Amino acid sequence: MTDEKTDKRILQSEFKPAAWLRHRHLQTIFPSLPWAWRKRTPLRREILELPDGDMTAIDWLEAGDSLPSTAPLLVVLHGLEGSAESSYARMMMETALERGWRPCVLHFRDCGDYRNRLPRRYHAGETGDIRYFLRTLHEQGQTGPILAVGYSLGGNILLKYLGESGRDSRLAAAGAVCVPLDLYKCAEALNTGFSKIYQHYILKRMKISVQRKFDRHTAAFDWNRAMAAENFAVFDDAVTAPLHGFDGMNDYYDKCSSAQFLKGIAQPTLIVNALDDPFMTPGVIPHQDRLSDQVSLEVSVTGGHVGFIEGGTPWRPKYYLPRRILDFLTSQL
């Protein structure tokens, strides 16, 4: 990691964990608890018809519908097997609304409480849907700035989209949190030590999602190998890659790890990653030479995976990320 005095693109985070929640696994697990974020503002569901005949869902905060089209619009991209009901997505949307922004969550295909049509789901490099959605927003009359924030896998997709689009991106600025910049290193980290608990939990959810959509007779992949997969590398090789046109796990990870796209980003972008993130290793942090001049990479010693609880009490926690990300995005408007 480079000192911020020598290169402003890599910054040391000011985040300090709450005294009652210092451990990285506690920081990671706490936001998923029922009382971690209790506010549940009503949502409005919109179906987005995609160019390939498939569909996905967008959830808007109803309270933002009265805001004009000139108001800033925030698109939230959730993480692996997440949705608009994920606590991090909710707190970001509701904090954005408090600032007078129109927030929404763009679901990845087959995520949340809806089902897509085609025999496919989503993956870490699927940038076509956000590209199409942003174009649709312009066509529907959004004249205010459009911004985006992505969490974990959603952050990887967002950074890849920005790098691919360069100056043609329709986003004014972006933020990405706890991004698996190197999919190889993240798969290895989640197959090590206590992190295997997270891997087991998420893989179980992914298999349930796959079973809901396919069976051994309709699956366009090795069903037995998929159901027997005990780590992400095997699951991605057995399911994610063949389902989405990749020649195996290596081809998928090679083409979709977002670190290789950071140099092409032309919009102001803040990435916030923690060195103690149990979903990855410090090795995912790229060298400053891989960042474009528009990218700021904030590195925190602590924070866990999409945790970053900085204070309050266990019953009324205070979160760092919504304020930090929205302050950055606001500064770019």
257, 276, 277, 300: the catalytic one is: 277
Helix (H, G, I), strand (E, B) or coil at 175: strand
Helices (H), 266-320: none
In sequence order, the 6+-apart residues with CB closer than 8 A to the CB of 19 are none
- Residue 63 CB burial class (10 angstroms; 0-12, 13-18, ≥19): middle
Residue 289 bears catalytic tag: no
Residue 69 annotated as catalytic: no
Give the C-alpha separation, 110 to 17, whole Å: 34
Q: Contact, 157 vs 126, CB < 8 A?
A: yes
Residue 246 sits at the vertex; the CA angle it makes with 196 and 259, to the nearest 5 degrees, is 65
Q: Give me the catalytic one of 13, 83, 87, 152.
A: 152
Out of 78, 107, 123, 305, the active site residue is: 305
What are the C-alpha distances in Å from 199 to residues 150, 205, 278, 281, 298? Answer: 20, 10, 10, 15, 26
113 flagged as catalytic: no
| Residues identified as active-site | 152, 277, 305
